[in-house]
Structure 1
Amino acid sequence: MPTSLKIDFVSDVSCPWCAIGLSALEAALARLQGEGITARVHCQPFELNPRMAPGGQDITEHLTQKYGSTAEQQAQIRDTIRQRGAEVGFEFSPAGRGRIYNTFDAHRLLHWAGVEHGDRQLALKKALLVACHRDRQSMESHEVLLAVVQQAGLDTTRAQSILGSGEFAEDVRAQEALYTSSGIHSVPAVIVNDQHLISGGQPTAVFEQALRQIAADEAAD
């Protein structure tokens, strides 16, 4: 019997593990299609650095301040991230992100896409992740964001109007508050059917197994 799952993918554009997690999730869903399991993925907002100042911050400096890691440790982590990305078909820049930026406007655009163009939201999310992690572009730059909007097949005039106003700001803040108040403090967080949580940028096989079990439980109920 076919089973349809609702998946909320809670993440931040600036998070490399979110890029890995989304790619792995999509690969898992592709494997499950032959078993009659389908899903609609909704991208939900989470800001790792909501108070990031305009202009961003050097990524090495930022990670040292936030986690106490050294440049050498960060280089090792970048190697791991690149390898994990390659396993699921996501390309990271060998040099890393360079700088980290505020992502609130990117989340406002993603919310708009979800509300008015639900079938294009995932395409926008993936294009933003590529712009950030492969192409090392500024996620606070309206020029960059509009170029990504165009790439995703969305209306740049409408997007420019959103960026020039506070539209969807309250909606994004409300969604962020909803997830943090529910206990989500790290991303990616994959919430299935509003009740099952899969945390972290898991390998494809882990997502596949978890989703298959959830679908089986849903069918049994």
Structure 2
Amino acid sequence: MTLRVDIVSDVVCPWCVIGYLQLAKAAAETGTDLEVHWHPFELNPQMAPEGENLREHLAAKYGTTPEDSRAARLRLTELGAALGFAFDYADDMRMVNTFRAHQLIDWAEDQGKAHEMKRALFAAFFTRREDLNDVSVLADVAESLGLDRVAAVAMLEGGERADAVREKQQFWTSKGITGVPAMIFERQYLVTGAQGEETYARILMELSETTPA
């Protein structure tokens, strides 16, 4: 049984990492094949090129206290470790502009590697704390996936994917998507947030019973 899931997310969204990995684990446990399609969403579309300190950013945007921030990071680190993903937070970690990263994913999609690119960018940001607004960093990620580094740099510097990515972002916001992760199963059923393996397993089993093979 193969089920399509469209995931609207940002590459600097930790709950997008958790949610996807919970879903993938549920799929493995239920014997479900997933056809995953990633779609762009920017949590901070007005973020300056130089980015902001992550703790300061969260405090200004959400009113998060230092204690809350430490607790949240610990919880995410523990959840990630249980799912095989390493969050490596640090006090000097920076939130960055992700528009270029989304353009890179869009470019990789034409080469059948959008899924691998998305996961690689998650690791670049959360595990290695790399600047996903830096063209050379993004080119390194592309090259690590066997893609043409020179072509990636040319695409990012030329901005040839910018309009397409903006249109895709606007499509999903026009559908009422205001937070991520947002998962749309079989183009019909919207599930928001990281719901946990048991919930995803139940959703997958229910869909497998009602979706034609």
TM-score, shorter chain, exceeding 0.5? yes
Hey, what does 2:44 align to over in structure 1? 49
Show CA shifts across 1:35-91 (max 9, x none).
Answer: xx3221011100000010010001111101100111111101111111111121111
TM-score between the two structures when normalised by the length of structure 1: 0.91
Hey, what does 1:146 align to over in structure 2? 139
Pairing of 1:27-176 with structure 2 (within 5 A): 27-33=25-31, 37-95=32-90, 98-114=93-109, 116-118=110-112, 120-176=113-169
Structure 2 alignment gaps of length 5 or more: none
Change (3 A) 1:101 1:150: same
Amino acid corresponding to residue 111 of structure 2 in structure 1: H
Structure 1 alignment gaps of length 5 or more: none
- What's the CA shift for 1:198? 1.5
- What's the CA shift for 1:100? 0.4
Amino acid corresponding to residue 106 of structure 1 in structure 2: A
Superposition CA RMSD, Å? 1.5
- What's the CA shift for 1:4? 2.2
Distance 1:88 1:97 in 2: 25
Amino acid corresponding to residue 87 of structure 1 in structure 2: A
Amino acid corresponding to residue 187 of structure 1 in structure 2: V
Distance 1:207 1:167 in 2: 37
Distance 2:175 2:60 in 1: 27
Is the contact between residue 78 and residue 96 of structure 1 (CA under 8 Å) also seen in structure 2? no
Is the contact between residue 117 and residue 145 of structure 2 (CA under 8 Å) also seen in structure 1? yes
Show CA shifts across 1:115-164 (max 9, x none).
Answer: x122x211111110001001111110111111111112222122111111
User: In terms of mean alpha carbon deviation, does 179-188 or 201-210 score higher?
Assistant: 201-210
Distance 1:96 1:18 in 2: 21
Residues paired across the two proteins, number:
213
TM-score between the two structures when normalised by the length of structure 2: 0.95
Amino acid corresponding to residue 160 of structure 1 in structure 2: V
